[in-house]
């Protein structure tokens, strides 16, 4: 298939399309515009941008960062992938709070021990001044950085994070945000 045919495929949907004169462009045609395959291979996240007018543009090299949110075990996470191809994917979340002593002294002490001893390979835990427990995990996304490889990388980070979430849940520190009630 030549380049022009790849870029703009004309499919005749008129009733006469099965006749010998189907090459003539009659009314009722549907035009499917397809994107060129980038010289580097597959499209990577950030290569396609949508303008406010709804037009799709291709950017090489990709300078567009990609950000999305997701929920895991009721905890909202934010993921960021900078436009720089060498920059890692970062996921962040507030996973819970340090229990008050009045709630459970043992839970408070256990949470402090977990945070002090936790040494995940791909991330870190921090205790904010207001008692919130924040995590930041990072990983390099393999090339090509397609949506599949980005989601798979998030999955790898969540597998590493899961035992820590289990520990925090066991001591009462994992507290997913509650959705606001609808009236």
CATH topology of domain 66-170: Yope Regulator; Chain: A, (3.30.1460)
pLDDT digits (tens, 9 = 90+) for 47-106: 677 778 888 777 665 667 889 999 999 999 999 999 887 899 999 999 999 999 888 899
Residues 81, 143: contact at Cβ < 8 Å?
Answer: no
Phi-psi region of 53 (alpha: psi -120 to 50; beta: other; left: phi over 0): alpha
C-alpha count within 13 angstroms, C-beta hemisphere, residue 168: 28
**What are the backbone dihedrals phi and psi of residue 84, each rounded to the nearest 5 degrees, phi first?**
-65, 125
Give the confidence band of 152 by pLDDT, cuts at 50, 70, 90. Answer: very high
Q: Where in the chain is CATH 3.30.1460.10?
A: 66-170
Stated pTM of the model: 0.68
């Amino acid at each position: 298939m030549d380049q022009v045919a790849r870029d703009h495929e004309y499919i005749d949907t008129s009733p006469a399309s099965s006749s010998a004169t189907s090459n003539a462009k009659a009314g009722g045609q549907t035009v499917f515009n397809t994107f060129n395959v980038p010289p580097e291979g597959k499209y990577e996240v950030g290569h396609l941008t949508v303008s406010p007018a709804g037009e799709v543009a291709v950017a090489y090299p990709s300078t567009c960062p990609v950000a999305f949110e997701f929920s895991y075990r009721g905890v909202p996470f934010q993921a960021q992938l900078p436009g720089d191809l060498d920059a890692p994917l970062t996921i962040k979340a507030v996973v819970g709070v340090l229990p008050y002593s009045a709630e459970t002294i043992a839970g408070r002490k256990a949470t402090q021990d977990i945070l002090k001893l936790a040494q995940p390979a791909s991330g870190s835990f921090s205790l904010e001044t207001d008692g919130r427990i924040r995590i930041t995990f990072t990983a390099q996304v393999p090339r090509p950085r397609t949506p599949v490889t980005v989601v798979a990388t998030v999955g790898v980070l969540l597998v590493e994070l899961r035992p820590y979430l289990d520990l925090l849940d066991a001591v009462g520190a994992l507290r997913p945000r509650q959705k606001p009630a609808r009236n």
